[in-house]
Amino acid sequence: MNISPEKKRFQNINLLTILTLFVLILAGGVVRSTGSGMGCPDWPKCFDQYVPPTDASQIPAGYKEKYVKKREDRNLKFAHTLDVFGYTDLALRIRNDKSILVPEEFNAAKTWTEYVNRLIGVLSGFMLLLTAFFSFTYIKQKKRIVFLSLFNVILVGFQGWLGAIVVSTNLVPWIVTTHMLLALAIVAISIYTYHQAKVADGGINIKARGFVVLMSVATLVLSILQITFGTEVREKVDDIAGRLQGQGRGTWLIKAGTIFYNHRDMAIAVLAANLVLYALIRKGFNRHSIQQQVMSFSFLMIMLQIVSGIILSYFSLPPYAQTIHIVLATLLFGAQFYLLLNLQRSAKVWGATA
């Protein structure tokens, strides 16, 4: 079935947006693992400049006092918001934690790492806007594509604000986890709109047996839990690293305690569930099917993630492995979600057999 150039354009832009979002997650992982979150203390400029400084001599005079004051004002506003929603204990902690207001020394590498992350973030936002704009091609055929594309633009705006709070409040634990889960939601919505457009324009979407779908849902839920545990492990490690002032890096994971062991044990559950699903997919679909291709990719991501996890555990949390670990986790999530979509019958199945 031939599709119009307008619909093909939407699908291409939507796919490119998904790829850009994964690049943004990669950039965010680099920022997090290198501690570059405060590389640029202001926004949207960086040290009040459109092109960041490369040397301390280029920094505006009195920048520390200026940006600490802005940071304090932002934190007080956020604490007030927390009061409104009943999180008074956390609001009190933010108001009283003076370490949040300690300015970092200028580091050119961290500044440019954060700046590149911001540029990729702007590009991602622009791509989401384009996706929303061109989604109106489907306004008569699939209104949900338009609605979700527009909703994703709002969601990414909220994500940007939340990202600023993550840095401003010195990585308050639950905010970091929320920030990560929201990133997954944005990716999932983009994958969903892409899949819906493909199905609407003649993509084959075969209904699988109920147990296969159930196992697919189970593996997806386990992956989300694993990512959540992983984020909490990182939060705990950051807290330990701060208290130890960066010393004794090899002991940080052990000191993380129960949450680290939960994360490690969950990895076994993820592997076991995906082994079962892999066997079911191989049995139910031919090797050239999208289902088996996506499942094979998922299994590759799991193997690589296990390797990166071993490197993190036995080689004192090298930053590059931290970044790889989280990117692999999000790629796995994306693949599992796309597999689930391709195991379900759409409202209208084109050229498929039950």
Please state the pTM of the whole predicted model: 0.87
Tell me which of 204 and 158 has the higher pLDDT: 158
Closest among 138, 170, 135 to 35, alpha carbons compared: 170
Lowest model confidence (mean pLDDT) among 37-46, 122-131, 140-149? 37-46
Lowest mean pLDDT among 24-33, 203-212, 319-328: 203-212
- pLDDT of 332 reads 96
Highest mean pLDDT among 34-48, 306-320, 321-335: 321-335
Q: How much is the pLDDT for 252?
A: 79
pLDDT digits 0-9 by tens, 193-248:
999 998 876 655 555 568 888 999 999 999 999 999 888 888 787 777 767 766 77
The pLDDT score that the predictor gives to residue 170 is 59
DSSP assignments along 184-222, one per residue: HHHHHHHHHHHHHHHHHTT---PPPPHHHHHHHHHHHHH
CA distances in angstroms from 196 to 320, 347, 348, listed in the order given? 35, 10, 11
pLDDT band with cut points at 50, 70 and 90 for residue 123: very high
Output the average pLDDT for the chain. 85
DSSP string, 100-137: GGPPPPP-HHHHHHHHHHHHHHHHHHHHHHHHHHHGGG
> Would the pLDDT of 152 be above 70?
yes
- Displacement of CA 284 from its chain's centroid (Å): 31
Q: Tokens standing for 68? A: 């600490």
Q: Where are the domains of the chain?
A: 1-203, 204-354
Query: Which pLDDT belongs to residue 343?
Result: 87
Looking at residue 239, its pLDDT comes to 73
User: How far is residue 53's CA from residue 40's CA, in Å, rounded to a whole number?
Assistant: 10
- pLDDT, tens digit, for every residue of 234-268? 878 777 776 776 677 777 777 777 888 888 888 99
- Long-range CB pairs of 155-159, under 8 A, 24+ apart, other chains included: 155/182, 155/185, 155/186, 155/189, 156/124, 156/125, 156/128, 156/186, 157/125, 158/182, 159/183, 159/186
How many helices (DSSP H) and strands (DSSP E) are in the chain?
11, 0
Give pLDDT, residue 202.
Answer: 64
Return the structure tokens found at 238: 């950051």
Percent of the chain, pLDDT > 70? 90
